[in-house]
A and B are shown apart, each in its own frame.
Chain A
Amino acid sequence: ELKVEQNPLFLSMQEGKNYTIYCNYSTTSDRLYWYRQDPGKSLESLFVLLSNGAVKQEGRLMASLDTKARLSTLHITAAVHDLSATYFCAVGPGNQFYFGTGTSLTVIP
């Protein structure tokens, strides 16, 4: 079974700082997705990465994909409180998505 691991699981960071969340997966896949989930809410699609070396940026978030290393990163630049949420990566080699365990991010003023 495909395994998707994220680290860290919990992240507390100060506003204005930078940090990276890592997502490793165990089986070849050229599609990787990042989602955001606020408490008690559904998942909001952030990025779709479809090829090796893909990099996408939206605001203070930037995601990248290295299919050879089976690694994706979500980089946060100059964090603000509004970014506090749980972030999931998901790998979709077939019909179903395999989700990581999630990274719970808290941005402290």
Chain B
Amino acid sequence: NAGVMQNPRHLVRRRGQEARLRCSPMKGHSHVYWYRQLPEEGLKFMVYLQKENIIDESGMPKERFSAEFPKEGPSILRIQQVVRGDSAAYFCASSSLSGSSETQYFGPGTRLLVL
């Protein structure tokens, strides 16, 4: 009974490079959420996706960041031309229903360090 899976767990990039973070939701879950956690802070919502659709991207920066959840395969959070301020832990969560009482289950996170 695999939970939410994320990879890589740790990612180091130099400024200007691209970062790709992957998330596979729990089996049976079709709703994926991405959050960012800066050191010593709570999680901040970035984007909510269902298969092949972005439902809510109100928390995602307008530039350099994009997300997708294709029909097949994991959800991808992509950060282009990374800057030092992008260094953070990025968590993916999944749920089976949205806007309901269903809790969101979190993956182990990807810790991105930009040098």
The answer, yes or no, to whether B14 is at the interface (CB within 8 Å) is no
Does the CB pair B43–A45 fall under 8 Å?
no
Q: How many interface residues does B have (CB within 8 Å)?
A: 25
The answer, yes or no, to whether B105 is at the interface (CB within 8 Å) is yes
Does the CB pair A98–B41 fall under 8 Å?
no
Given A42-B108, A42-B109, A43-B91: A95 in contact with B42 (beta carbons within 8 A): no
Given A33-B103, A45-B105: A96 in contact with B42 (beta carbons within 8 A): no
Secondary structure call for the A interface? loop
Produce 1/0 per residue, A30-41, CB < 8 A to B. Answer: 010101000011
Does the CB pair B106–A50 fall under 8 Å?
no
Q: A99-B35, A99-B42 are in contact. List 18 more A-B contacts (CB 8 A).
A: A33-B104, A35-B106, A42-B107, A43-B43, A43-B91, A43-B106, A44-B106, A48-B101, A50-B101, A88-B42, A90-B43, A95-B55, A96-B33, A96-B45, A96-B59, A97-B35, A98-B45, A99-B43
Q: Which residues of B are at the interface with A, using a C-beta cutoff of 8 A?
A: 33, 35, 41-45, 48, 55-56, 58-59, 91, 93, 98-99, 101, 103-109, 111
What would be 10 A-B contacts, judged by CB atoms less than 8 Å apart? A33-B103, A35-B106, A48-B103, A88-B42, A92-B104, A94-B99, A97-B45, A97-B104, A99-B43, A102-B42
